[in-house]
C-alpha cells in the first residue's frame, strides 16, 4: 500500500484539480500508513494542495502533532514543510479578506 501512495502522489501532480476526493482519502490514510516515504508523500500532497481540502488539512496537522517527535527524518521534514505551507496559505487568505 505504501508504494501505491507514492505512485498516486506522482499521478496527482499531473492533474490535482480533478482529484480532490483522492486527496481527501489519502489524508485519511495518514493514521494507518507507517512507511516513512508514504507518510511523507501524503504530507507533501496536503501541503501542496491544502487549499483544495481546507477542512481536512487542520485535522491532519493535529494528528501529526501526536507523533511529530517520533517521526523519521523525511516525515519530520515534510511535516514541517506542510505546516509552513499551511500557515502561509492562511496568511494569504487573511490578507485577501482585509
Q: Tell me: the pLDDT tens digits for 38-89?
A: 888 888 888 888 888 888 888 888 888 888 888 888 888 888 888 888 877 7
Dist. CA 31–CA 60, nearest whole Å: 9
pTM of the model: 0.76
- Burial state string for 48-79 with b = 16 or more CB within 10 A and e = fewer than 16: bbbebbeebbeebbeebeeeeeebeeebbebb
| For residue 98, pLDDT beyond 70 | no
In the structure, what pLDDT confidence band is assigned to residue 2 with cuts at 50, 70 and 90?
A: low
Amino acid at each position: 500500500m505504501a508504494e501505491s501512495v507514492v505512485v498516486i502522489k506522482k499521478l496527482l501532480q499531473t492533474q490535482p484539480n480533478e482529484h480532490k476526493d483522492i486527496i481527501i482519502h489519502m489524508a485519511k490514510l495518514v493514521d494507518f500508513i507507517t512507511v516513512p516515504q508514504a507518510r511523507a508523500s501524503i504530507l507533501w500532497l496536503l501541503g501542496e494542495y491544502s487549499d483544495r481540502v481546507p477542512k481536512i488539512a487542520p485535522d491532519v496537522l493535529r494528528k501529526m502533532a501526536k507523533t511529530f517527535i517520533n517521526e523519521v527524518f523525511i516525515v519530520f521534514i515534510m511535516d514541517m514543510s506542510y505546516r509552513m505551507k499551511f500557515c502561509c496559505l492562511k496568511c494569504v487568505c487573511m490578507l485577501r479578506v482585509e
